[in-house]
Chains A and B, each alone.
Chain A
Amino acid sequence: MKSNPHDATGPHAVSRRTFLKTFGTSAVTAATLGANNVARGLAQANAERSQGPGAVGVTLRVNGESRTFSIEPRVTLLEVLRANAGLTGAKEACDRGTCGACTVLVNDTPVYACSLLAIEAQGADITTIEGVARDGKLTALQQAMVDRDGLQCGYCSPGMVMVLTALLRKNPHPSEAQVRRAIAGNLCRCGSYPRIFAATLAASGQKPVTKLNVISLHDHAVA
């Protein structure tokens, strides 16, 4: 992003930075510029760094691969991934940063892809659910999610896997409380949370307590 005060031209020209600096420190200066000049100055200053509203080229590094998309700057990372990049693993469920179904890793940190503009994700390393399993082999977490049934409809699963992958990278042996905290921002409507806790503990080599017992009714008489 370019912001060079010397690029400003014209008798009353101000750069964005000098404009903000002067405007912020001296009301007198602002007044002497005159209302028209203020507006012009601001528009010009913004124009230096603003892009759009039409489509612009946005280059994203997703799962190790750089690709350029022609999109409007208002488009979210989630939408580019799903609609432009064909990576539909990240799911749209709330589109406003509440449910976590769209979680991806941005420089190894879990981020709601619905709440980040694609243009702002340039230069970062983005990992989606499609980039987690290497060479078609499930990670220990993914395998545990399958074996322990840490999913039902599976719509929240990509987001859950992303968050928990990040957790296990930082903390290979989390407690159940830490697992709960990690997915506090991810909703599952089918109610798979207990199994997700168990899967994460199992993936980290810990033994979750099984709660399921199958018994025969005939072994029990009515009191």
Chain B
Amino acid sequence: MPWPKATRYLGKETPRVDGPAKVTGRAKFTSDVAPAGVLHGAIFRSKWAAARVKSVNLEKAKAAPGIKAAILAHEGEFDVRYYGDEIAAIAGTSKQAVLDALALIEVSAEPKDFVVKELDAVKTDSPRVAAGNANLTEGAAKATGDVEAAFAAATAIAETTVSTPTQVHHPMESHGHTVQWDGDEMTAWSSTQGVFACRDIFAKSMNVAQNKVHVICEHMGGGFGSKFSPGVEGALCARLAQAAGVPVKLMLTRFEQGLAVGNRPSSFQKLKLGAASDGTLTAFEIYSIGTPGYSSGANQGGGSGGASFPAPYIYKPAATRVKQGSVAVNAGQSCAFRAPGHPTASAGMEAVLDDLAAKLGMDPVEIRLKNDPNEIRRREYVIGAEKFGWKEKFKKPGASTGPVKMGVGCAGAAWMSGGRGTQAEIQVNADGTVEVRVGTQDLGTGSRTVVQVVAAELLGLDRDRITAHIGDSRLPPSGSSGGSATTASVSPAIFDACENVIAELKKLSGLDDPRGANWKVACAMIGAAPLQVRGKWREGLSTGGAGGVQFAEVAVDTETGFVAVKKILVVQDCGLVVNRLTCESQINGGVIGGLGYALYEQRVMDARTGFVLNPTLENYKMPGAADMPDIEILLIDMPERGVIGVGEPCTVPTASAIANAVANALGVRVPDLPITPDRVLAALGKVPKETATTMAERSREVESAFASVAAAPGAPWVDGNSGCHPYT
């Protein structure tokens, strides 16, 4: 890799360039933008989980004081498919006017039967989410080798059933836009992970030319995979602004975030893993179902890859049989969520692997070293085990004594990442200052700072001489920020542009190297028109494929069922570290997201009403300050691999490592994520009889669901990762 060896910025700690603006309140996020005369917009949503809407009367709302526009989400009759489905939208002069007018919208609808629980939806007599289609869409069984023979020959076999929750993104800034029209040209300030993707989708949905749409995202408050598209709310906002003839701001409420704008699909997994006496994995089988929401499998509506996930994850037993299904329910649609499919895949695979290790009397680290095909990850296990003190801390499952039991666990990640087509423009002014322009966006990952430091490094300048312009669809194109690809896409383009700048300045000045002490002299020759040079992403500066392993130490109170995570150790490779400071922050974030997945987060649906019972942050539990374990990070520096993104791999193994640590502490697995106190007590047999009966009933339901997946003939295989990343 041609990246410089001796560096001033690369691999060092650089505070983010927009930090001061963000800690003083000066930074204008999408939700802060307010053009003169902007109206407040809001969406009127379905209170039915399923219904045929016959008519919607907006007249009273339109006539309400302050209301300037009211529009329908659909013309004519239509079906609503979940509690929260969009029906209409209005815009008015104040939030209060809009709240009053929402109550005046009249809907005539015929409620229909609905189903919101996966295990109910797979039953043949269940209400159909999409009329005429079965709720369950199965992938065809995928098999390699002779699975039966391999299991028959195995020394030990572990069978584990696990489930994972529907996890909701809940970025702190909600989804939303402000749209302003000027004739047939529209400007959208969008809270988005992709300004170009937004531009193109707006152009299509509003039927205007792409060069008439301008999308701006100066600062945005998090996305985690849920903000690639402008969404239904974007189209409604644009239509309201068109109807009103003035700008409209439509930011969703927290309540709407919990219903409508994406989630990580749930899973129920039945796994079976066999090994030879030395621990070599020989046979693997999985049946799984999960729900991506109201639209499943071939009927995908929300841009997710369904509820399938990579299997077998990481490890490669010789004989495998995989069958996965997606089941539609009357609930909000899933979409990409930080490392789509992977935390789910890891939760099952790493669990059954540990259960198998216990049967073989093997150490969990040993069985991973034996079976992990990736050399870097194997080294990471060795490094991590030493740093973590694994040998001293690991005891046989259930060996911890006393009411509060300690346990340890580990797990790995595999993420393809990699960079791709991005262009950058560098403008050098006669005074020697530099402007770098690239149409990427900063989700909080520090990409604005990456743009600045890469240019500073390669041009040999102080970073404060460089201004980074991002978050605008009129800048040179860059892809959406997904798949941990932003840094690996942007950095090479800036590298290329910097090389071109240096070549141009050489020509202009006749100097051998226009950098360093020569910079001022060379720039003085630029003249009145600044020098503008382009660069493009190219091969050889970034690669894909990050691993990473994590170790968890937990304390489980067997009297209360409470799990406290004491420590997470992360060993993470990410190629060339661009900015150590923001890189570590991202890893902290991945771990904390995984902690939520392990212990707290789950969307809860009510079977009787079809409502989401916890659409707000007081009852959808996200990790808070008090829940923080000691997080220690070992970054593996491998500059020879070039730039590799890190945002997703670091969230993959956390929940699995925690779940394995809990199983190690208790000597019994808590099969369902999140591992809430009631589930710990249930696993310990400490719950009252009635609950035990309910659990047995549920377990029968799970079994029958797997049986229906196994028995179904199967549709063409749906890959667990296909379509997870709506890259542009």
Contacts and interface: CB of A to CB of B under 8 A. Distances in A.
Given A187-B622, A191-B623, A214 B11 contact: yes
Given A96-B254, A184-B625, A101 B20 contact: no
Contacts of A86: 34
B15 A146 contact: yes
Contact of A96 (B173, B589, B618): B618
Interface residues of B, number: 76
A180 B29 contact: no
B20 A214 contact: no
A83 B636 CA distance: 47
Interface string B1-30: 000000000010001101110111111110
A222 B173 contact: no
A170 to B, nearest CB: 18
A212 B633 contact: yes
Interface in B401-448: 443-446
A222 B384 CA distance: 12
B190 to A, nearest CB: 15
A125 interface: no
B25 A87 contact: yes
A207 interface: no
Given A88-B28, A212-B633, A215-B634, A93 B96 contact: no
Interface string B238-259: 0000000000000101100000
A142 B20 contact: yes
A154 B378 CA distance: 36
Interface string B208-224: 00000000000111101
Contacts of B290: none
Interface stretch (B121-129, B482-490, B527-535, B580-588): B580-588
B616 interface: yes
A93 B24 contact: no
Interface residues of A, number: 69
Interface in A174-223: 179-181, 183-184, 186-197, 211-217, 220-223
A75 interface: yes
Given A93-B173, A153-B443, A193 B585 contact: no
Contacts of B29: 88, 91, 154-155
Interface in A56-99: 72, 74-75, 79, 82-83, 86-96, 98-99
Contact of A99 (B94, B172, B581, B586): B172
B678 interface: no
B628 A149 contact: no
Q: Please classify the interface of chain A as helix (H, G, I), strand (E, B), loop, or mixed, using the class held by over half of its residues.
A: loop
B40 to A, nearest CB: 8
A130 interface: yes
B392 to A, nearest CB: 16
A146 B382 contact: no
B632 A211 contact: yes
B20 A146 contact: yes
Contact of A190 (B31, B222, B253): B222
A151 B23 contact: yes
A14 interface: no
Interface in B353-376: 369, 375-376
B626 to A, nearest CB: 5
A26 to B, nearest CB: 40
Contacts, number: 222
A129 B24 contact: yes
B637 interface: yes
Interface in B479-523: none
B347 interface: no
Given A152-B585, A187-B622, A190-B589, A91 B379 contact: no
B106 interface: no
B591 interface: yes
Contacts of A195: 585, 588
Contacts of A126: none
Contact of A154 (B18, B224, B631): B18
Interface stretch (A3-11, A40-48, A156-164): A156-164
Contacts of A152: 222, 444-446, 582, 585-586, 589
B20 A138 contact: yes
B582 A187 contact: no
B170 interface: yes
B673 interface: no
Contacts of A146: 15-16, 19-20, 23
Contact of A214 (B224, B630, B635): B635
A133 interface: yes
A214 B15 contact: no
B139 interface: no
A163 to B, nearest CB: 10
A40 to B, nearest CB: 27
Contacts of B301: none
A212 B12 CA distance: 12
A147 interface: yes
Contacts of B633: 211-213
B221 A154 contact: yes
B172 A220 contact: no
A87 B24 CA distance: 11
Interface string A97-112: 0110100000000000
Contacts of A133: 24
A215 B383 contact: yes
A128 interface: yes
A35 B329 CA distance: 53
B90 interface: no
A212 to B, nearest CB: 5
B589 A191 contact: yes
Given A93-B617, A98-B254, 20 more contacts: A72-B94, A89-B24, A91-B172, A94-B616, A146-B15, A146-B20, A149-B584, A152-B444, A189-B224, A191-B588, A191-B593, A193-B625, A195-B585, A212-B635, A214-B11, A214-B577, A214-B634, A220-B379, A222-B375, A223-B382
Closest 8 CB pairs of A and B: A89-B25, A153-B444, A155-B221, A191-B592, A154-B22, A191-B589, A129-B25, A152-B444
Interface of A: 72, 74-75, 79, 82-83, 86-96, 98-99, 101, 128-130, 132-133, 138, 142, 145-147, 149-158, 161, 179-181, 183-184, 186-197, 211-217, 220-223
30 contacts: A86-B34, A87-B25, A89-B24, A92-B251, A93-B617, A96-B616, A98-B254, A98-B616, A101-B172, A142-B20, A149-B16, A151-B19, A152-B444, A152-B445, A153-B173, A154-B221, A157-B22, A184-B625, A187-B617, A187-B622, A189-B172, A190-B585, A192-B588, A193-B628, A194-B588, A211-B630, A213-B633, A214-B580, A217-B376, A217-B636
